[in-house]
């Protein structure tokens, strides 16, 4: 691959990862709001737990990232290691 293509690929990965985190946050807040609504809890009484939200984002952002790369950029990826402190990808 040429350097220019690698730069574009890095930019795509960076932008897609950012979108994945925002989407995961959006989903987390929607889940909280749906549960509160089903229990008829007023908005003022909802307790947001930042650590739980962070854990949800961490657990779902890689799944969302794979979907974004696959659907929007036609890039299919596979993890080198399923358990890793830093996500490493192999492009298929």
Number of domains in the chain: 1
> Are the CB atoms for 20 and 61 separated by under 8 Å?
yes
What per-residue confidence (pLDDT) applies to 9?
81
* Domain coverage including residue 69: 3-91
CA dist., res. 92 & res. 86, Å (int): 19
- Prediction pTM value: 0.72
Q: How far apart are CA 54 and CA 25, in angstroms?
A: 8
C-alpha distances out from residue 27 to 32, 48, 57, Å: 9, 14, 9
Q: For 6-60, how does the pLDDT look when each residue is reduced to its tens digit (9 = 90+)?
A: 568 888 889 999 999 999 999 999 999 999 999 999 989 998 899 999 999 999 9
Q: How confident is the model at residue 1 (pLDDT cuts 50, 70, 90)?
A: very low
Cβ-proximal residues to 87 (8 Å cutoff; 6+ apart), any chain: 62, 79
What confidence tens digit (pLDDT) does each residue in 74-89 have?
Answer: 877 765 555 444 455 5
| Per-residue pLDDT tens digits for 44-58 | 999 889 999 999 999
């Amino acid at each position: 691959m040429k350097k220019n293509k690698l730069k574009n690929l890095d930019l795509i990965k960076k932008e897609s990862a950012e979108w994945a985190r925002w989407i995961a946050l959006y989903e987390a807040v929607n889940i909280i709001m749906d549960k509160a609504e089903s229990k008829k809890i007023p908005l003022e009484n909802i307790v947001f737990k930042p650590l739980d939200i962070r854990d949800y984002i961490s657990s779902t952002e890689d799944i969302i990232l794979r979907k974004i790369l696959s659907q929007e950029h036609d890039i299919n990826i596979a993890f080198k290691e399923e358990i890793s402190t830093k996500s490493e990808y192999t492009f298929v």
